[in-house]
């Protein structure tokens, strides 16, 4: 009898530039490497979430190849051949596809979970239990693609949503994914919250590697052709040359748009969603980053050397313990100081920081 657990893998996607957290998040130190809760980076939190679920030798990280050394230093158990370095970012379909094609080449029976280095999730044992259930769903039928939905706490407009359909026979709390909805307006988000059948799309999955390869081949053949060539060369001396030549040519697209949505309409595949009732924080903007810092009686949050008189609802952040930030009677501002750049904006405009990051000179990005 095959031991299914011996073919379980965990993968972490640690790409993205984190421009909405500029100037703290920079090209040289993107958000997934920033220290957050407990002094650990978001990437370290993601790595430790699968402790006891998947051994270190079966964990892979997909990130920019330029961060190979710093990521391997941060994750001592990560083997060099399990760091899948992207020469350039080509969106999530190609990141997940690179993982799937390499794992399928190494282990034709591989099933893998996909985690991202964007989130703080609590409790970790609750997440591990749901991922274990996701593995069991896929191991029972490799044509199933499992995604995890976070129970909404409010009518968020910055997240994608998944609507659940009928239950999956033989599994408690596993459902068909009826449809995916990208970032609705406030009115629709309120309707989804009231309906009780919608969840936030977490961007986390459990998948059979061979099934993902087949799906990409059918839905995005231009991506599949290049990923096949890369995977065949990956564990050979031709890896770096093949990656550098082929990967930048892959069409950019997301895993949700390129695979999960067409798969949900395909008779040969079953997209499943497993609800998660967990504390889930997507640390993707200054408003969400603020939630990682303790709040005082005036609604202020700060990790800086900050002196204030009468300000309220402030977020004040600095990576320089010798620099003093002083405010008087301010309200609802975000102030972020680094050695070479300072950001000041109303909290209500924090989502627009990305616009500024794209306009600053290249040397300050």
What is the distance, to the nearest Å, from the Cα of residue 62 to the centroid of all Cα atoms in its chain? Answer: 11
List the one residue out of 96, 74, 18 whose CA is nearest residue 256. 96
Written as tens digits, the pLDDT of the chain (365 aa) is 678 889 999 999 998 767 889 998 888 788 888 887 777 889 999 999 999 999 999 999 999 999 999 999 999 899 999 999 999 999 999 999 999 999 999 999 999 999 989 888 888 899 999 999 999 999 999 999 999 999 998 898 888 899 999 999 999 889 999 988 888 899 999 999 999 999 999 999 999 999 999 999 999 999 999 999 999 999 999 999 999 999 999 999 999 999 999 999 999 999 999 999 888 888 888 998 898 899 999 999 999 999 999 999 999 999 888 999 999 999 999 999 998 899 999 999 998 998 998 898 877 77
Give the contacts of 94 (CB within 8 A, at least 6 positions apart). 86, 223, 227, 247, 250, 252, 253
Burial class (CB in 10 A: 0-12, 13-18, 19+), 154: exposed
User: What's the pTM?
Assistant: 0.90
Q: Give the C-alpha separation, 126 to 34, whole Å.
A: 25
Please, where are the H alpha helices in the chain?
Answer: 42-49, 68-74, 91-106, 124-140, 186-195, 209-219, 221-234, 239-246, 255, 261-263, 286-289, 353-359
Q: Is 270 within 8 Å of 145 (Cβ atoms)?
A: yes
List the one residue out of 308, 349, 347, 350 whose CA is nearest residue 329. 308
Set out the domains of the chain in order of their start, with CATH numbers. 4-282 (3.90.550.10), 286-364 (no CATH)
Q: Give the C-alpha separation, 79 to 34, whole Å.
A: 22
Q: Which residues pair with 228 in a beta bridge?
A: none
pLDDT of 149:
92
Give the contacts of 319 (CB within 8 A, at least 6 positions apart). 24, 337, 338, 339
Q: Is 9 within 8 Å of 112 (Cβ atoms)?
A: yes
Segment holding 83, helix H or strand E = strand 83-86
Q: What is the DSSP letter of 174?
A: -
Please, where are the H alpha helices in 235-275?
Answer: 239-246, 255, 261-263
Q: Give the C-alpha separation, 315 to 283, whole Å.
A: 15
Q: What angle (nearest 5°) sits at the alpha carbon of residue 249, between those of residues 247 and 251?
A: 100
End-to-end CA distance of the chain: 54
pLDDT of 2:
75
CA distances from 272 to 109, 130, 169, 214, 277 (A): 20, 13, 11, 18, 16
């Amino acid at each position: 009898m095959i031991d299914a657990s011996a073919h379980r893998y965990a993968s972490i996607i640690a790409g993205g530039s984190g421009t909405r957290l500029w100037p703290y998040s920079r090209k040289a130190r993107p958000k997934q490497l920033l220290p957050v809760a407990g002094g650990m980076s978001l990437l370290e939190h993601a790595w430790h979430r699968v402790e006891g679920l998947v051994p270190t030798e079966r964990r892979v990280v997909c990130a920019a190849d330029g961060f190979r050394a710093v990521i391997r230093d941060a994750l001592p158990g990560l083997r060099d051949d399990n760091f899948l370095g992207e020469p350039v970012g080509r969106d999530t379909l190609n990141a997940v596809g690179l993982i799937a094609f390499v794992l399928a080449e190494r282990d034709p029976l591989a099933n893998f979970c996909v985690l991202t280095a964007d989130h703080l999730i609590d409790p970790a044992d609750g997440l591990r239990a749901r991922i274990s259930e996701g593995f069991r769903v896929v191991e029972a039928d490799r044509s199933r693609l499992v995604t995890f939905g976070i129970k909404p706490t409010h009518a968020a407009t910055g997240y994608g949503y998944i609507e659940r359909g009928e239950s999956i026979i033989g599994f408690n709390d596993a459902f068909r994914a009826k449809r995916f909805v990208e970032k609705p307006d406030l009115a629709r988000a309120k309707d989804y919250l009231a309906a009780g059948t919608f969840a936030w799309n977490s961007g986390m999955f459990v998948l059979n590697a061979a099934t993902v390869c087949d799906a990409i081949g059918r839905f995005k053949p231009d991506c599949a052709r290049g990923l096949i060539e890369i995977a065949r060369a990956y564990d050979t001396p031709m890896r770096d040359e093949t990656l550098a030549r082929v990967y930048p040519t892959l069409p950019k697209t997301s895993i949700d748009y390129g695979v999960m949505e067409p798969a949900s309409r395909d008779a040969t595949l079953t997209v499943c969603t497993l609800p998660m009732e967990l504390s889930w924080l997507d640390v993707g903007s200054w408003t969400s980053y603020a939630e990682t810092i303790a709040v005082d009686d005036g609604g202020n949050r700060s990790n800086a050397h900050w002196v204030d008189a009468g300000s309220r609802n402030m977020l004040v952040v600095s990576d320089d313990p010798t620099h003093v930030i002083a405010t008087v009677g301010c309200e609802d501002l975000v102030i972020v100081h680094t050695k070479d750049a300072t950001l000041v904006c109303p909290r209500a405009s924090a989502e627009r920081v990305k616009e500024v990051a794209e306009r600053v000179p290249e040397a300050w990005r």
